[in-house]
């Protein structure tokens, strides 16, 4: 187990999730660092979309 995997386990990833990521990495070719960075970008994007919807929905129901 390398340093990145240890940090991911300490951050809350499970062994099963790491095995899933490593299977996909070996299947499609990449590195664990690239996958984690891409997951971070997707998380931020989903967080922004959720925040936008959460702000628009109450405003839309207020002006109804």
Q: Per residue of the chain (64 residues), give pLDDT as tens.
A: 789 999 999 999 999 999 999 999 999 999 999 999 999 999 999 999 999 999 888 877 777 6
Whole-model pTM? 0.72
Output the pLDDT for position 64: 67
Range of the domain at 53: 3-62
Sorted by sequence, the CB contacts under 8 Å of residue 30 that are 6+ apart come out as 24
The whole-angstrom separation of Cα 42 and Cα 48 is 10
Structural contact between residues 31 and 25, judged by C-beta atoms closer than 8 angstroms: yes
- Nearest alpha carbon to residue 15 among 25, 24, 5: 5
Please tell me the total count of domains within the chain: 1
């Amino acid at each position: 187990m390398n340093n990145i995997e240890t940090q991911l386990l300490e951050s809350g990833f499970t062994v099963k999730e790491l095995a899933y990521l490593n299977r996909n990495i070996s299947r499609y070719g990449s590195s664990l660092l690239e996958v984690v960075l891409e997951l971070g970008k997707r998380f931020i994007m989903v967080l922004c979309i959720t925040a936008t919807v959460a702000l628009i929905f109450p405003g839309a129901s207020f002006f109804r």
